Amino acid sequence: MLMGYPVSELAWLAVLIIVGGVITGFLAGLFGVGGGGVIVPILYEVFRFMDVPADLRMQLCVGTSLAIIVPTTLRSYSVHQKKGAVIPGLLRLWTPAAVAGIVIGSAAASFAPAEVFKIAFVTFCALMAAKMLFGTHRGNLGTELPGRVVLSLYGFAMGALSSLVGVSGGGFSTAILTLYGQPIHRAVATSAGLGVPITVVGTIGYIIAGWPHLSELPPLSLGFVSLPGFVLMAPVAAYMTSYGVQLAHGLSRRHLEVAFACFLLLVGTRFLVSLF
């Protein structure tokens, strides 16, 4: 027994977390996303086994997911930046708006039904996936990026959504940039950069939010962040990121678009299922 749990079962849970880290890191490099769509379901089952109270389980999953994504997004952004694929100046504009969105989104989550945000996200994923699968530029919002005000609103929306579902916002920002005619490779690279402030601020927020509930959380929890979950998954995910980046830059634009569309469908389906 270890911390009150059978060692054999804890070992299998550790393997599951590590496998999730491999998938998460690869997705982060390939699509500029954090991989929260993979992390949260895995951690949910782990914390269910550990008898974390149902009314705190999702918060612990989201907070731990954001913490795990921090080194992943840092590494992904660093590799993409070295390849010169990041859109200059955009991150300086998006970061303050995204941080504000994280703060407001966290507050809204306490009284607004999560289903509203999930339905909006599922709809968005479906529309964008269909557009990319059919390979058409019809429906684009423009051939150049919009003005500062519109871009700031997008940044705010991405921060709010990310704080609610435990992702880095990369799927949303990549899709938005492609709607304005940005090449998919540049969109993926820039989205990886946006994930850095979103995950850092989000992690801090969930750590603080979980302090009043420490007595109900598993051992070695930093608020709504599980230290064992972070230690097991984060290094593996960060290591795998460079492989995803290499594949992204090795694929043609069309192949990367189709792959990203499939990813959006999978993530959208995951949130759709959670509504029932």
pLDDT digits (tens, 9 = 90+) for 216-244: 888 788 888 988 888 887 788 778 777 77
Q: How many CB atoms lie under 10 A from the CB of residue 227?
A: 14
Query: Quick one: average pLDDT of 7-25?
Result: 71
Tokens 């964008």 found at:
128
- For the chain, the 3-state helix, strand and coil shares in percent, each to the nearest 5, are 80, 0, 20
Bigger pLDDT: 7 vs 223? 223
Confidence of residue 116 (pLDDT cuts 50, 70, 90): low
* Structure token digits, residue 149: 């005000």
Q: Do 209 and 173 contact (CB within 8 A), yes or no?
A: no
H or E segment to which residue 94 belongs: helix 90-108
Answer whether 0.75 is exceeded by the pTM.
no
Per DSSP, the residues of 52-75 read --HHHHHHHHHHHHHHHHHHHHHH
Whole-number CA gyration radius for the chain: 18
Q: How far is CA 222 from CA 63, 67, 230, in A?
A: 10, 11, 11
Report CA torsion sign: 92, 93, 95, 96.
positive
Q: Give the C-alpha separation, 16 to 31, whole Å.
A: 22
